[in-house]
Amino acid sequence: MNNKLQELQKMALEKLAEAKNAAELNELKVQYLGKKGQLTQMARNISEIAAEERPKFGQAINQVKASIEESLNQHLKEMEEKMLAAQLKKESIDITLPGRNVDLGTVHPLTMVINEVKDIFLGMGYSVEEGPQIETEYYNFEALNLPKEHPARDMQDSFYVTDSTLLRSQTSPVQVRTMEKMVPQVPVKIICPGTVYRRDDDATHSPMFHQIEGLVIDKNIRMSDLKGTLLTFVRQMFGEDREIRLRPSYFPFTEPSAEVDISCFACGGKGCRLCKDTGWIEVLGSGMVHPRVLEMSGYDPEEVTGFAFGIGVERIAMLKYGIGDIRLFFENDLRFLSQF
């Protein structure tokens, strides 16, 4: 029996040394050490040995089992180390190779303009206010003195959510909400940047665009205050040598109303293709706050006056950076965006 045990040990160790992978090692483990393995079967036949020889034989079986397990574990460890070394070699990185350039994001030109406008007006003592993009008809129209029959309220101009709510078509509702919140406090000096929506889409119009409304309410506010404020803004945005002119216009929420032009920065006012040979470029609308708007917001138009203006962010960006098509702002073309 001892001879058979020694032969089994020798055979097992030889086969373990010849194994090529972990799967073969596991098969040998089952073959020799498993519940039905050869060593296990020999241990079960211990009853065939004389009683006085059994302890010695049991000790020999344990020694053979320990020898096989030790060899098995050693070969498994060696195989794992070889596999790890091969994997590391395969996945090795040559740190001397040149790296790949990573494209860094930049600030969007519209965001650049919004931030610049904010900085200019914050420097003049204004605060920034925001409001909901889904508005009621009251705040989007009625509180701004737009009667129900006004063309701007037609479905072809606005995106309605329900019969009485819509995507705001201007940031002016934020002015009304702010006045209601602050009444009767003065002065009110705010700008309201935000996204607005109208049914329009071509090279110079977008169904979604951005506005920055400005509002000042106080005692003895005059048209000259409006002009001085806008002149300061224009010179900081487009250059200190810019001039402005105010042309009579009409907006339901201001009276009197004025379109604001700046002297052409391309030709210095001499006339060119950009300014259509007029020397002037239209940039925004403005005016004195209509007494009816003040009254509906809770202010007494006999006690306070105010002015308001609306800046089209895309309009300013197109002029400032010489961009000819508004749709470029929303196409996410990296060739265009990387220029900023």
Contacts of the segment 201-205: beta carbons below 8 A, 24+ positions apart: 203/324, 203/325, 203/326, 203/327, 204/318, 204/325, 204/326, 205/326
Whose CA is closest to 170, among 147, 137, 201, 202? 137
- Model pLDDT for residues 169-223, shown as the tens digit of each residue: 999 999 999 999 999 999 999 999 999 998 877 776 788 999 999 999 999 999 9
Residue 110's pLDDT band (cuts 50, 70, 90)? very high
In residues, how long is the chain? 340
pLDDT of the residue at 97: 83
Residues 6+ apart with CB under 8 A from 148: 141, 142
Whose CA is closest to 116, among 336, 329, 320, 328? 320
Phi-psi region of 307 (alpha: psi -120 to 50; beta: other; left: phi over 0): beta
- Model pLDDT for residues 112-125, shown as the tens digit of each residue: 999 999 999 999 99
Separation of alpha carbons 148 and 152, rounded Å = 9
What percent of the chain is predicted at pLDDT more than 70? 96
